[in-house]
Amino acid sequence: MERNILTLKVIRENPIHSDIIEEKIKEIFREYIYLPLIDILNLEYSVLKNALPSALEEAIKFGKIVYSNGNFFGKFNAKISKELISYGAKWDGRSSTFKLAESAIPFDIRNSIHLSRAAFETKLYQLDQKLAQILPDELASKIDVASQFDTTLWDVEKQFKESVKKITVAPQLTEEQRKKVADEWQNNLRLYFKKYVTEEEIPKLRQIVQENVFSGIRRENLIQGFIDSYGVSKSKAKFWAHQETNLLMAKYKETKYVEAGVPEYKWACVHMPHQSSPKAIYKPGDVRYSHGILEGKIFSWNNPPITTAPGQSERRNNPGQDWNCRCFAIPFIRI
């Protein structure tokens, strides 16, 4: 005889919890890596100060105009262009530069070029030294999210008690269990951060600096390189925070529901377009094919389904445990 099914209330994670963690990680990137680099570049070149610098000298001083191999590169306004033409410089539309032999450049301008180049190279050296002094272990240790754990867990525990109140009294986590889960959550975030800073972030930033040493790119382009890199780091912070928080909650629900005598669930996907086949082009926001085909199917917490695409190394996960998984479990019992 077919038994009836009692569907339990779904536990929904509050994104504000992972948002708080994301901000903590972004703050470390900002305060301990990027702002110190920008501060080095924003120091004025005192050796370049003079009483009445020309528009061209000012632009050279602040790296807006660069002279290299007989060409002036940069952003030319009417005043600077007029000054260059007065020295005999010729505009080259193909390369968007003013051409002028170094011997034809007035002494004051030539001196500014050399001083600016020397000052910029000094700053590049300072940047490289600063990056070499960054200690990933030390930065990772600043990720302190243990205090956030109880707030996050308290919110989910309230929902869990509401979900199972019709069938049982919700078991409580012991202090030892809470500490173990909180430490694992924090340590995972620290490991991701340290690995990224060591293997990607610092090498990438040092490469940006070194490329400027050899190419003579303007200071504003160097700053833009740092800004672009920071944008990537912020995306990483967002991913780690949401991924680890989702994984924490997925593991918590798995443990608590099994303990409460709720061994099964229905797989549910977010209401987004589903990837139509494993070979279809994936669009950001779509539910991946290997997850979409699981929707509505019944699984046990102790025997999760395969969530990887055909041809990939096989992994089994409950909802929310796979990388960037937004699926969720609808728990139920047979009565």
Please give the torsion angle defined by the CA atoms of residues 282, 285, 291 and 292, in that order, rounded to the nearest 10 degrees: -90
Sketch the domain layout of the chain as residue ranges: 49-116, 263-335
Q: At how many degrees (to 10) do helices 146-164 and 219-259 cross?
A: 40
User: What was the pLDDT predicted at 203?
Assistant: 94
Taking the C-alpha atoms of residue 133 and residue 76, their distance in angstroms, rounded to an integer, is 37
Query: Which tokens belong to 14?
Result: 């509050």
Who's near 145: CB < 8 A, 6+ residues apart? 21, 24, 185, 186, 189
Q: At how many degrees (to 10) do helices 146-164 and 175-196 cross?
A: 130
Taking the C-alpha atoms of residue 231 and residue 201, their distance in angstroms, rounded to an integer, is 12
Who's near 259: CB < 8 A, 6+ residues apart? 171
User: What was the pLDDT predicted at 9?
Assistant: 84
Starting at the edge strand found earlier in the chain, the sheet holding 65-68 runs 65-68, 71-74, 97-99, 90-92
| Cβ atoms 205, 197 nearer than 8 A | no
Taking the C-alpha atoms of residue 217 and residue 68, their distance in angstroms, rounded to an integer, is 10
Taking the C-alpha atoms of residue 180 and residue 287, their distance in angstroms, rounded to an integer, is 32
User: What was the pLDDT predicted at 49?
Assistant: 42
Half-sphere CA count of 38, side-chain side, radius 13 A: 16
Per the listing, tokens 């003013």 go with 98
Q: Which helix (H) or strand (E) holds 240?
A: helix 219-259
User: What averages of pLDDT result for each successive group of 10 residues across the chain (335 residues)?
Assistant: 73 83 92 88 48 77 84 91 93 92 88 81 88 94 82 80 77 75 86 93 90 63 85 91 86 86 92 81 84 93 90 88 89 86
Please state whether beta strands 71-74 and 65-68 pair in parallel, antiparallel, or not at all (unpaired). antiparallel
User: What was the pLDDT predicted at 216?
Assistant: 53
